[in-house]
Chains A and B, each alone.
Chain A
Amino acid sequence: MRKYSWIAMLFGLNIFAQTPTDDFFYSNNKIYVVVLVLVIIFIGIASYLFRLDRKITKLEKNNEA
């Protein structure tokens, strides 16, 4: 269970009272948390760009018709 505790951490659930120091996201002075945050932000921006692209394609098709 403890192995997957970071999933709970993601949603702000502190179900493990003691700090699981062997956890991946707690290692290396928690730098992986920053990496994860940046990846989430970037994926958010990227998926927004993809949606924007699709919407513009739709607009172009409507205009041609």
Chain B
Amino acid sequence: MRNSWWKILAIVCLTYVIIGGFLMPAVDDLGILGKTIRNLHFHVPMWFCMLVLLTVSYIYGIKYLSKGNAAHDSMASSFVKVAMLFGLMGLATGSVWARFTWGVWWIEDPKLNGAAIGMLIYTAYYILRNSIEDEVKRGKLSSVFNLFAFPIFIVLILVYPKMAVELSNHPGTGDTMAFSEFRPTANDLRMVFYPAVVGWILLGVWIATLKYRITEIKRKNEEI
């Protein structure tokens, strides 16, 4: 197995997060949140992980365009696929959380709609790739698509919600408070939240590299 120390770190972090997420101190009197504040350790890192995976994909997209190495294209596409998985899990967990705090599965909120549109943009990336047979053409077109998709995605989920004053329920957007502003509560949460972020990101990267390696094996077999 390749470079396994960070894989073990991911498992250690996440085992701690699963146990600590339930048992470590966290406030349970934040209004409608109740004890669901603990979702912070699971729902939020899904998006962080997705962002990291998409960043890696973006970098490899640029690398492919400048060097034309097919392996870079496999890297970019594999990371997008696993990023989509984490994004879907982020949407699903967020929806459940919304149902039991705001009362509905989905609300008209810039953060939610931005994330949904962002997911659709990357769905288009997926469809674009699957519709082109020629390897070089597919690589070039999807890398260029990626080049535009990523900045738009960042604007949709990070910038646009911040500007949506009085439109958003989501914490940390527009004029709503982020969890980090609930002091000293935030420090209790950080004890679990930071390892959660590290653990989930590493797990996502791990799965994405597995996907990449399988894609590469397939591609090399096809060449022969």
Residues of B with C-beta under 8 A to A42: 14-15, 18
The one of A31, A49, A63 that contacts B207, using a Cβ cutoff of 8 Å: A49
Interface residues of A in 1-58 (CB under 8 A from B): 31-32, 34-35, 38-39, 42-43, 46, 49-50, 52-54, 56-57
Given contacts A46-B11, A63-B220, contact A56 B22 (CB under 8 A): no
Which applies to chain B's interface (DSSP): helix, strand, loop or mixed?
Answer: helix
Interface size class on chain A is 10 to 19
B interface residue numbers (CB < 8 A to A)? 1-2, 4, 7, 11, 14-15, 18-19, 22-23, 206-207, 210, 213-214, 217, 220-221
B210 touches A50 (CB 8 A): no
Residues of B within 8 Å of A50, CB to CB, are: 1, 7
* Chain B residue at minimal CB-CB distance from A39: B18
> Contact partner of A63 among B4, B19, B217, CB < 8 A?
B217
| Cα–Cα distance between A32 and B22 once the two chains are bound (Å) | 9
Closest A residue, CB atoms, query B213: A56
Instruction: Report the nearest A residue to B224, measured CB to CB.
Output: A63
**10 nearest A-B residue pairs (beta carbon):** A46-B11, A38-B18, A56-B213, A35-B22, A53-B1, A54-B1, A59-B217, A35-B19, A42-B18, A57-B1
Return chain B residues, CB-CB under 8 Å to A43.
Answer: 11, 15
Q: Which of A34, A56, A63 contacts B210 (CB 8 A)?
A: A56
Chain A residues with CB under 8 A of B214: 56
| Minimum Cβ distance to chain A for residue B75 (Å) | 15
Known contacts A42-B18, A43-B15, A57-B2; A52 and B220 CB within 8 A of each other: no
